[in-house]
A and B are shown apart, each in its own frame.
Chain A
Amino acid sequence: MIKRVSGEQWLAFGIILLGLFMAWQLQDIPNDAGYAGIGPRFFPSLVVTGLIVAGGALLMQRRHSNGPDTILSDGENDAAEVEAEDEFARGDADWRMFAIASGSLIAHMALIGLVGFTLAGTLLCFGICRALDTRRPTLDLVLSFVLALGLFHLFKTLGLNLPALIPGGVL
């Protein structure tokens, strides 16, 4: 029977890959600076081994379990109850909203040096509001601008210089 690869298994693959990538990078660290055989490469080697082994164990754990619920229902006390409730509360993923939130963060990153903190921050705050399914976008846009402008001036007075649209300007 062919089983669908679960999200957690993809994650386990990712962790193993990360471990392997780091193992490859280990070669760039010279090991002769150490004393008594313990150089700057020793500790990273342990961590890399730990990552690969743990990633492998996570992969195996999913294979052996019969369904998504077997691991969760292991606990016996209230902690497990709360955990189970949390699991129950998770609805279907809305990836469009994830994309809006991510896009806002990336746009902010690209724009902050160009248009300054206030405008980039307004855009970011408004974007996050959209990603959280706001019911009153116009008001949020205005409030985002007020918030970003307020923070910009508050931190300017506190001596923290954030980039402005025009150097020394009010935005």
Chain B
Amino acid sequence: MESLNALFSLGFATALTPANLLWALLGCTLGTAIGVLPGVGPAVTVALLLPVTQSVDPTGALIMLAGVYYGAMFGGSTTSILLNTPGEAGSIVSALEGNKMAKAGRAGPALSTAAIGSFVAGSIATVLLTLLAPVIAGFALQLGPVETFALMMLTFAAVSAVLGNSPLKGFIALMLGLSMGLIGIESQSGQSRFTFGLMPLIDGIDIVVVAMGLFAIGETLYTATYENKIAGRIESLKGSFWMSKDDWKRSWKPWLRGTAIGFPFGTLPAGGTEMPTFLSYSAERKLASPEAKKEFGKGAIEGVAGPEAANNAAVTGTLVPLLTLGIPTSATAAIMLSAFQQYNIVPGPLLFDTNPELVWGLIASLYIGNVMLLVLNLPLVGLWVQFLKVPRPLLYGGIVVLATMGAYALRQSWFDLMLLYIIGVLGFMMRRFDFPVVPLVVGLIVGPMAEKHFRRAMSIHQGDLTVFLTHPISLAILTVTAAILIVPPLMKRRQKMLQA
């Protein structure tokens, strides 16, 4: 109950100041507006708006970025339902059924169930975050560098082996991210590494440049090269906007089930929203009534309600490891972490003691942001749909200009623009050959942290590598890590043998 106390006495007191309310509203609005643009997911939205927050105080800035994160998710569902172009992995499933519903003239109920489901899931997940975060932070205080390093290994294994369709490609993406993370001055010894004598590389490669390069520039190059001839079709918003009694009856259980599936997945280092949304989709498909089952594939409301809830619950779930352990488990969380670092704030168990106003203010603003987003996205959805009508060439032109501006603003140097282009070409190739980008982003951010903890562990234990196996918590984490790497390929092989 201590956490509820802190939430109300500190959190809401911070979040309800006029300035912070304004930042939350601005974040939610900008997040929805940019998130609704086709092909733009939450990660790139947060990265695009990072430079805007530079002149804001840390609490206000983080409240705004959290609003952007949430808003981009809400906006993303609108796009996948009406245009069938999911901006990120988490909304692929909503596009499956949601776009079919829109085609059948049921865009209104599809958007409503997505928005209300996201609101329900987001609110429940925020309650869980409120109750769980201090407990986990308390536990995390007992973790030394050995255990923290093991946790980071688990994160690496999970993001590269579980996401995407090829663990090898995930691993390569992770290695590329780790390599980029090595560039610059190494924090323990002050040695510069892989800077090739170039001064601008001494500070390392900024995550803003990487995120914009991969997501904005890479995506634009890909679209220009491969997708010019594919024309999107916006489904119109006709018919009743509100959900019927039957729609409500069919939606509320999937919302709750989606939340129950999404939140735990978000909290695990096996992060990401891809798995829980797919799981929720298949669960709803199995549990649907016989009549509803026939609708799956043609636009079943359960197939939108469940995954949308799972998506939002998982996103809130990723804040648990981010705030309590300082470990980001998704691309967006990694960019959020860099926003903390921009203010020299280190997320982790100590954050609850050193910056309680900030943490609790941030959590309280999630409750407020959820309500704001429900209002912004239900009655005002017609406004966001106008954004979808921006012609694609101009839309990408605008995004690229914003991305270059964000990169240039870092140091006012053309060098960052060159890096942006090089990383854009890398993003283009990764997209072309189906490499997942999340491992790269997570590797870039977590890699240097993992090295620091590894070397700290080694200096405490006189270079004895067996400590990772003799410390019980570390052993348990590494066993799970090994299982993640070994079990899926074995199961695949067994399945093949059974089929043969």
Contacts and interface: CB of A to CB of B under 8 A. Distances in A.
Interface string A34-48: 111111101110011
Contact of B401 (A42, A58, A97, A125): A125
A91 B190 CA distance: 49
Contact of B189 (A15, A40, A94): A40
B217 interface: yes
A51 B424 contact: no
Interface residues of B, number: 78
B429 interface: yes
Contact of A47 (B179, B188, B223, B424): B179
A164 interface: no
A106 B425 CA distance: 12
B391 interface: yes
Nearest to B170: A54
Interface in A128-162: 128-134, 136, 140, 143-144, 147-148, 151, 155, 158-162
A166 to B, nearest CB: 17
A86 to B, nearest CB: 8
B101 interface: no
B168 A58 contact: yes
User: B interface, by DSSP: helix, strand, loop or mixed?
Assistant: helix
A101 B221 contact: yes
B454 interface: yes
B492 interface: yes
A78 B296 CA distance: 12
B135 interface: no
B189 A78 contact: no
Contact of B414 (A34, A109, A147): A109
Contact of B394 (A76, A101, A140): A140
Chain B CB within 10 Å, residue with most, of A22, A78, A100, A148: A78
A17 interface: no
Given A33-B191, A34-B189, A162-B405, A50 B175 contact: yes
B206 interface: no
Contact of B458 (A29, A36, A100): A36
B397 A124 contact: yes
A161 B409 CA distance: 8
Contact of B405 (A11, A18, A39, A151): A151
Contacts of B226: 90-91, 93-94
B292 interface: no
Given A29-B191, A91-B230, A105-B404, A147 B175 contact: no
Nearest to A120: B404
Interface string A45-89: 001101100110110010000000001101111111011000001
Interface string B447-482: 100010011001100110000000000000000000
B245 interface: no
B171 to A, nearest CB: 5
Given A7-B433, A29-B193, A35-B459, A97 B421 contact: no
Chain A CB within 10 Å, residue with most, of B220, B408, B425: B408
Nearest to B458: A38
Interface in B388-441: 391-394, 396-398, 400-402, 404-405, 408-409, 412, 414, 417-418, 420-421, 424-425, 428-429, 432-434
A125 B400 contact: yes
Contact of A94 (B175, B176, B224): B224
B139 interface: no
A110 to B, nearest CB: 7
Nearest to A7: B433
A30 B191 contact: yes
Given A33-B189, A47-B175, A51-B175, A132 B396 contact: yes
B55 interface: yes
Nearest to A159: B55
Given A36-B458, A151-B402, 19 more contacts: A37-B463, A44-B194, A54-B168, A57-B168, A58-B172, A71-B166, A74-B165, A78-B93, A89-B227, A91-B229, A91-B230, A94-B224, A112-B414, A121-B401, A124-B404, A125-B401, A147-B401, A151-B405, A159-B55
20 contacts: A33-B189, A38-B463, A55-B172, A71-B165, A72-B434, A75-B165, A79-B165, A89-B227, A97-B228, A98-B428, A105-B404, A108-B404, A112-B417, A124-B397, A129-B394, A131-B224, A134-B394, A160-B51, A162-B409, A163-B412
